[in-house]
Chain A
């Protein structure tokens, strides 16, 4: 399993896979949702530290998980985006619907 999860006081940190395409998205979705259902997740953090590729399938995963967590009043954030992922976030409007960590100066 390429991606991992960490839980800390109601916060679920999802380490995103190296290549977030349709193939990886399917696995990630299932695992993240079962954790969100099982534990009280108040906030969700998508950590893109290891991610160097993302296509439109990744957008579906992120939006879907946002909906599932916000349903219970939680908040969602994306951190450690590289230039390519930032571009995908910008083009798709994802950065308007969730908090995105600002680029380091």
Chain B
């Protein structure tokens, strides 16, 4: 069987109304791998979490740009969500379930926990004042 190789990049404003657009677009891109309904829901939820983090935490709802780079290699999908916002002071702590810096906004602190639960691998690279890049990988069709 021939290996699928594909790539796409998108850039959009950090507006909450773009959260749906981002996850649906990534979902459509991944469709050529014939994901199951659950796999597609996993990817869409993970993308939604990462994009919401950029908007609320990275840019603190003051706007900016978000980049998503997505590639398919064989059965693996790799999605990077990037912002040039304020960055994360302590990535380890940010990844802990229920940890949130914005309880006043009723954030549940489950964003990274969901990304980890729904994807196979999650890598976070962040620098204060420079921004954050979250890279997630998932193999489609493991059964």
Contacts and interface: CB of A to CB of B under 8 A. Distances in A.
A56 B111 contact: yes
A57 interface: yes
Contacts of A21: 16, 19-20, 23, 48, 52
Contacts, number: 61
Interface stretch (B69-77, B85-93, B100-108): B100-108
B25 to A, nearest CB: 14
B81 to A, nearest CB: 14
A64 B106 contact: yes
Give the most central of A21, A56, A59: most B CB within 10 Å.
Answer: A56
A22 B114 contact: no
Nearest to B41: A84
A83 B36 CA distance: 13
A23 B19 contact: yes
B17 interface: yes
B106 A55 contact: no
A91 B106 contact: no
Interface of A: 19, 21-23, 26, 29, 53, 55-57, 59-61, 63-64, 83-84, 88, 91-92
